[in-house]
Amino acid sequence: MFTPRDQNPALAALLTLCAAAFAAGTTLLAKALGTGALGPEMHALQISNGRFLFAFLAIGAVTAVMRPRFARPDLKLHAARSALGWGGVTLMFAAAAFIPLSDATAISFLNPVFAMMLAIPLLGETVGRVRWSAAAIAILGGIILTRPGGGVVELGAMLALCAAVLMGSEMILIKRLSGREGPFQILLVNNAIGLLISACAAVFVWQWPEPRQWAALAAIGVLMAAAQACFVNAMARADASFVAPFFYAALVFAAIYDALVFGVIPDVVSLIGATIILCGAGLLAWREARLKKSPPPVRPSQPG
């Protein structure tokens, strides 16, 4: 039986900031591999396979040492979640080769918006005017970042948008898993299934990596495992509406990494688009928090 963790908002915030820094680091390394900075250009399918391989090895090693108690997993739910996560990660890695990391990261913040939209038909949730307004604001920022008519930049933004849709869908399934299974079990099963899916896809584009590329792939896997562990544990210690805004720091980390390594400085369009997305996503997170704190409506008593 899985026992929920004690609530600790301060620790949850710190863990989420660490997850943001680690996640931005994986995108930076994926960009280096996809653009040929570390050797021959590597396909996004192979990069995502390396991400799942080394993340699984890292999580498996920690699991073997800590020996957490496992419950019976919902394999169908895990498989669907892992497939969506693999697709989202692969498209994000592909997008990073075309557009600045800050743009790709900002567009990825649309995934809560898509999750909200998908929750209507899939979870039967009701969405009010404030949340629809927040979604419209965030999507406007995403449209700005696509830079219509921008050639390859537009392609990269569209890849990131598709990644956000898949990751938003994944969030719906994560909601169903949270509270049912422990963090280690969720991470281990997710990465095991993701490894299987990504390996089948990578067969068609496989090329033997150079030593530097192996090191980068290993770093992507370890950083992603660390990011997942931090985020899952943060979600276990505070409400999602509290945790989510702290992950927006990934945008800052991505911009810093891109500037230091590739010399890419966000332009005016990037700043405007990212700001609008953050405003919309922030409004959505605030509204979610308010809805959770609101007491349920009092129903009139039924006649006896």
196-210 average pLDDT score: 96
The predicted pLDDT at position 121 comes to 77
For the stretch 90-138, pLDDT in tens is 999 999 998 889 899 888 888 878 887 887 777 676 777 887 888 888 8
Mean residue pLDDT of the chain comes to 84
pLDDT at res. 297: 46
Task: Specify the higher pLDDT residue, 233 or 224.
Answer: 224
Q: What are 234-293's pLDDT values in tens digits?
A: 877 877 667 777 888 888 899 999 999 999 988 888 889 888 888 887 787 777 666 666
**Model pLDDT, residue 299:** 42
Q: Which one, of 279, 215, 244, 188, lies nearest residue 19 by Cα?
A: 244
Band (pLDDT 50/70/90 cuts) for residue 176 is confident
pLDDT the model gives residue 6: 66
pTM of the model: 0.83
Residue 220 reports pLDDT greater than 90:
yes
**104-130 burial by CB neighbour count: b if 16+ within 10 A, else e?**
bbbbbbbbbbbbbbbbeeeeeeeeeee
pLDDT at 277: 86
Burial (CB < 10 A; 0-12, 13-18, 19+), residue 66, is exposed
Spatial CA neighbour of 142 closest among 185, 186, 99: 99
pLDDT band at 295 (very low <50, low <70, confident <90, very high): low
234 Cβ contact list (under 8 Å, min separation 6): 11, 12, 13, 15, 16, 19, 243, 246
CB 230 within 8 A of CB 25: no
> Amino acid letter at 232?
V
Confidence category of residue 76, pLDDT binned at 50, 70, 90: very high
- Look at the chain and count its residues: 304
